[in-house]
Amino acid sequence: MANLSIQVISFNCVLKNKIGTVISNTFNREVITSLEGESMVLQGLARGLQNIKAGEKRKIILSAQEAYGFYEPAKVILYPKKKIGRDITVGENISIIGKSGLIRSYRVIQLHHDMVSLDSNHPLAGQDLIFEIETLDAREATEDEIASSKNAVSAQVLH
């Protein structure tokens, strides 16, 4: 295995599901290709970008488990509409402060008479994903960039 380096890369990314439907097309500027941190999302993508060169194209395929995890029905809750305090629509993202004081993000998936169904699964949970990458720029990260990295590819939600 080649020596892994931490790089700063800028790249175009076309994200598709396993049947080839385009989910999104993004440009990502100056992203750190770090693999550190166990709780980071998209570590498989970070691994697939290791030692990439400017102008290089790669197709990185991640299983649902490697991407945003499996869809978990237990992450769908019923919540009283009156506690939200405003009108909401299906598909809208909202944040709710729980009893513990933690803020949780949910997507509104269904409206009922007095209740609303909220889903905290990532919208791409349960899907195998294909990342088609075209690298525009790639360089070694400086020690300062590594130390202050908040834009690591495995930490950000690209889509």
> What is the DSSP annotation of 54-112?
TT-EEEEEE-TTTTT----GGGEEEEEGGGT-S---TT-EEEEE-TTS-EEEEEEEEE-
Mean pLDDT, each 10-residue run in order, the chain (159 residues):
75 95 94 67 85 95 94 96 92 92 94 96 95 95 79 51
Long-range contacts of 103-110 (CB under 8 A, 24+ apart): 106/77, 106/79, 109/76
d(CA 15, CA 145): 27
Give the right CATH number for 73-119 from 1.10.357, 2.40.10, 1.10.150, 2.30.29.
2.40.10
Side chain identity, residue 39:
S
Instruction: Tell which CATH classification among 3.40.50.880, 3.10.50.40, 3.30.420.40, 3.40.50.720 matches the domain 7-69+125-147.
Output: 3.10.50.40
Contact at 8 Å (CB) between 128 and 61? yes
pTM for this entry: 0.78
pLDDT at 119: 98
Instruction: Tell me the C-alpha distance between 41 and 62, whole Å.
Output: 12
Q: Where are the domains of the chain?
A: 7-69+125-147, 73-119
